[in-house]
Structure 1
Amino acid sequence: MTNFTIEKQLTLSDFRKIVLEERPVSVHSSILENVAKNHDFLKGFASNKIIYGINTGFGPMAQYRISEQNLNALQYNLIRSHSTGSGQPIDPTLVRGLLLARLNNFLQGYSGVHPELVELLVELLNKKVYPVIYEHGGVGASGDLVQLAHLALTLIGEGDVWYQGVIRPTEEVFAELSIQPLKIHVREGLALINGTSAMTGIALVNLLQAKKLLEWSVFLSAMTNEVVEAYDDHFSHELNHVKHHPGQQAVAKMMRSLLGDSHMIRSRKKHLYEGDKMDQDVFEDKVQEYYSLRCITQVLGPILDTIEQAEKVIVAEFNSVNDNPIIDHENANIFHGGNFHGDYVSLEMDKLKIAITKLSMLSERQLNYLLNARLNEKFPPFMNLGTLGLNFGIQGMQFTATSTVAENQTFSNPMYIHSIPNNNDNQDIVSMGSNAALLTRRVINNSFEVLVIQMITLLHAVDYLKCQDRMASATKGLYEEINAIFPSFVDDAPRYKAIAKVRAYFEKSEPVVSKAIRQQQ
């Protein structure tokens, strides 16, 4: 696999290559030289000066001076004392994102760390050794102290790690792979735990999955309109360009690209404007569809805009210096402040989880429309291809979708405003950013479950109508791919394993709309 050399500011695409594609990493020599200069400056500057976190205690204990012989012990004590996480271990993929985010912080050259720390983080990424880090512990100011303490615990050769999908003692894995633990030089303990890298790494993975969910939602919304033979004007250029929101216009353009060669989508002009329709007192054709079919661009447009805004903010945080104090060797000074505060990440994650919850709500409403024969007046109840009364169709799956959306709605309560003072009121206003990022992760995972059930229902709709030859090439292609994984069914049997297979396809596939549009070109 091609090596990825870090030599400049990283993009979300770079993050995807390193974290999700697991590309090996190296760091350009000029960046390492700058890290070394920064470390050497701190080592010299700190002599005979009171510098927070180097020869003082931490937080409210900063008024206590630490003796020369205890300086290294101070850093080790900080790491060990804050390794207090609880709850479930964070998924190893998220931890890989966290590792890269912490590495990228140090590569900015303002943290005073020894280059050995950078090299060790690179080694863990390349050997796919991931610290066991727990969900509960971070309040998101002074950074993700508890989560990052577990990262630091691994680096000094203690605690546990994920290796090849199994949790094992760090010491054992390091010995097996000939990895040398970190030795503290000046302030590596504080530098490691004082920052926003846990919430940021998780947030970047969330963004990549949210982008994928948005494209799936556009695709399934287009397919839903197609099987019910909806009108084409609600995603037309003419209607959407007069609403000056880029997200809405982009969603409409995607739908037009997907459905351009469909023989099922109807032209309003042809079906309602031409010919003599005015002699009817009651129109057989609905003049307008339900909102979940007709207002897709207006619902998904703001979600797309929210994702893109979140990307700008989170990528900026990813490339920022987010610890304290800032070691500035260019200006020969050290600056104390609060760059570890996670409000930027917390607020964007709250907005993102609200947006993705709305996406799941749209899917649930479209699903309900397809399953309710009294609404659609087109399909059998619960898309049941068997014997009504004897068989149940998608009825059981709908319960899962509905309850999962309800859980999303509960999780969407914002963390950003749930500051609780702690640390003897030193941390008197905090971000709860790691909580926000982890809850957003839950909402995203839940939403994949809901969209998968909608996909399975659409598969049944196509088979019921036998309309494959009239479908757009893009939607027909997706139908064929999913049908190969999970064909429509008549009999009643447990389907949870098959649902899991479709979900795995949804999560691992490349963005579906982009792929379909590229194939048409």
Structure 2
Amino acid sequence: MKPIAGTVVIDEQGLDLADFERVVTHQSPVQVSQACHKAVSDCRAFLDRVLDDGRIVYGVNTGFGKLASVILPEEQTRALQVNLIRSHACGVGAPYSEDVVRGMMLLRLVSLTRGYSGVRPVVVEMLMACLNEGIHPVIPQQGSLGASGDLAPLAHLSLVLLGEGEAILGGKRIPGAEALQQAGIEPLTLQAKEGLALINGTQAMTAVGLIAYLKAKRVMDAANAAAALTMEALHATLHPFAEGIQRVRPFPEQAAIARDIRRYLAGSHLVREPGRDKVQDAYALRCIPQVHGASLRALRHVQETLEIEMNAVTDNPLLFPDENAVYSGGNFHGQPIALAMDYLKIAVAELANIAERRTERLVNPQLNEGLPAFLAPDAGQSSGLMILQYVSASLVSENKVLAHPASVDSIPSSGNQEDHVSMGTTSARQANQIVDHAATVLAIELICAAQAVVFRGVEHASLISRRVIEWVHRYVAPYAGDRSYSRDIAQLADAICRGELSDVLAKGK
């Protein structure tokens, strides 16, 4: 099987973050390697032998959850799988965005292609075809406990494979059967184990988590750029960023942030040496390496966790043909992702917290080193950028509520058989909200800092800061009188999340 140009091939090594983003964001087609096809076929043949031998396998010839003790005759096993999908598709709330849905489909496909789930190759081919044809199931966001997997979200995904439910195709919301018909795809008829294999896993929380993480990396870049710009606007000193200070507290992430800030401010005539009037800066400026560095350290841990999970097998039971074994276990439990997402929430919320404090220093005439009050030349008649700081304050306060760890909560289900759950999907959804809020807070700091440096004289700023200001002004014109900034802020925040500012910062590295 020769890959088509631009195709992401799922093979025995699985995916990396770049592959995930290509498929999810850029809608690159997907192909499954011959080796993975063989692993799927071999595992299915093993399951068929197990069933022919009359062995009892959870969820194949038994009921689910508390009903696992109910043994079913062979003629009921197919109906069991369809009933499972239909009964579990009871999610509520607004639907996930199409990028999250694509992420769920891709990750479910990867998990099944590992060859431990017992599905037929046609199930893999069906998922791949829907992904490549742009058939995106309508999946409500709420209803997963994050253990036994993301049952409700994945059931909504699976309904469309059966020609039921609803899907988005070509931007239109239509019945699942119609979407398959338009793409020339026959609905799937489930056999033993396949319904359970489709919905038992952590793919909703992991897809949301990966998308949140990819945006968070770009928010980190924006935080460093905004911090550097604010330092110039407030005539800050570079002494706290000296290599020696970082060396004696040797967190590599702290040193990396300090190094980036020194690079961003190289050649600036606006930063100052400490003097009689100001010996040292406030914490929001002086402690940037320590605060941003701690968040960067957290992001690296989150990345490691997500990279493991995106290629993991997370359904139950699992089949091991080489061992002649079927094991019931708990790989569907979302605790690793739940903890990582709570960590991500806190780390990114802190980037927003310190950014809002820097924004306050830019607009507050008592703190902004002689800049106009609220960055308005005619303050009093005009409010200038006063209310942008209010918006930041509102968002960081909301983040503090969202950052409460979801993973410490649990509630029993299925007659107390499933008595500890992760709430990982809730945590991932909250993390994604916090990242979006942080991008907005950073957009506001960039608008204010760029305006402040205009007052100081852009020609005195560093080369990289001048590039950042030029980029900001593509979306937000310099202040020329009071006006609404809502659209400007939203567009700039979206551009941050897309990685545009990260690309500007990467030039000349």
**Residues 266-277 of structure 1: pairs in structure 2 closer than 5 A:** 266-268=272-274, 272=275
Which piece of structure 1 moves more, 257-266 or 99-108? 257-266
TM-score, normalised via structure 2 length = 0.96
Structure 2 partner of 1:67? 73
**Residues 23-422 of structure 1: pairs in structure 2 closer than 5 A:** 23-47=28-52, 48-268=54-274, 272=275, 283-284=276-277, 286-385=278-377, 387-422=378-413
Equivalent-residue separation in structure 2 for 1:195 and 1:59 (angstroms): 15
Which piece of structure 1 moves more, 105-114 or 176-185? 176-185
Equivalent-residue separation in structure 1 for 2:392 and 2:315 (angstroms): 41
The answer to whether the 8 Å contact 2:270/2:461 transfers is: yes
Which piece of structure 1 moves more, 349-358 or 492-501? 492-501
Equivalent-residue separation in structure 2 for 1:61 and 1:54 (angstroms): 12
Distance apart, 1:3 and its partner CA = 1.3
Residue-by-residue CA offset, 1:78-133 (whole Å, 9 max, x unaligned): 00001000011111111111111111111111000111111111112211211111
Equivalent-residue separation in structure 2 for 1:73 and 1:257 (angstroms): 63
SS in 2 for 1:168: strand
Residue-by-residue CA offset, 1:342-374 (whole Å, 9 max, x unaligned): 000000000110111111101100000101110
SS in 1 for 2:367: helix
Instruction: Indicate yes or no: 2:508 matched with 1:520.
Output: yes
Structure 2 partner of 1:430? 421
Equivalent-residue separation in structure 2 for 1:267 and 1:493 (angstroms): 37
The answer to whether the 8 Å contact 1:391/1:490 transfers is: no
Equivalent-residue separation in structure 1 for 2:219 and 2:505 (angstroms): 15
Distance apart, 1:421 and its partner CA = 1.0
Distance apart, 1:25 and its partner CA = 1.0
Residue-pair matches, total? 503
Residue-by-residue CA offset, 1:481-521 (whole Å, 9 max, x unaligned): 22122111232222212222222222223462x6424x224
Equivalent-residue separation in structure 2 for 1:396 and 1:162 (angstroms): 38
Equivalent-residue separation in structure 1 for 2:411 and 2:337 (angstroms): 17
Which amino acid in the other structure matches residue 304 of structure 2? K
Distance apart, 1:415 and its partner CA = 0.6
SS in 2 for 1:520: coil
Which amino acid in the other structure matches residue 6 of structure 2? T
Structure 2 partner of 1:475? 465
Equivalent-residue separation in structure 2 for 1:226 and 1:35 (angstroms): 58
Instruction: Indicate yes or no: 2:489 matched with 1:499.
Output: yes
Equivalent-residue separation in structure 2 for 1:377 and 1:264 (angstroms): 12
SS in 2 for 1:327: strand
**Sequence identity percentage:** 35
The answer to whether the 8 Å contact 1:211/1:511 transfers is: no
Kindly report the root-mean-square deviation, in angstroms, between the aligned alpha carbons of the 2 structures: 1.4
Equivalent-residue separation in structure 1 for 2:492 and 2:262 (angstroms): 25
Instruction: Indicate yes or no: 2:8 matched with 1:4.
Output: yes
Which amino acid in the other structure matches residue 422 of structure 2? S
Equivalent-residue separation in structure 1 for 2:482 and 2:437 (angstroms): 24
Equivalent-residue separation in structure 2 for 1:233 and 1:46 (angstroms): 71
Which amino acid in the other structure matches residue 54 of structure 1? V
Structure 2 partner of 1:444? 435
Which amino acid in the other structure matches residue 280 of structure 2? Q
SS in 1 for 2:108: helix
TM-score, normalised via structure 1 length = 0.94
Equivalent-residue separation in structure 1 for 2:504 and 2:375 (angstroms): 29
Equivalent-residue separation in structure 1 for 2:295 and 2:453 (angstroms): 28
Equivalent-residue separation in structure 2 for 1:461 and 1:2 (angstroms): 44
The answer to whether the 8 Å contact 1:199/1:437 transfers is: yes
Unaligned 5+ residue runs, structure 1?
A: 273-282
The answer to whether the 8 Å contact 1:19/1:93 transfers is: yes
Distance apart, 1:332 and its partner CA = 1.4
Residue-by-residue CA offset, 1:263-322 (whole Å, 9 max, x unaligned): 222345xxx4xxxxxxxxxx32x1000000000000011100000001111111111111
Distance apart, 1:58 and its partner CA = 0.5
The answer to whether the 8 Å contact 2:232/2:453 transfers is: no
Distance apart, 1:412 and its partner CA = 0.6
Distance apart, 1:478 and its partner CA = 1.4
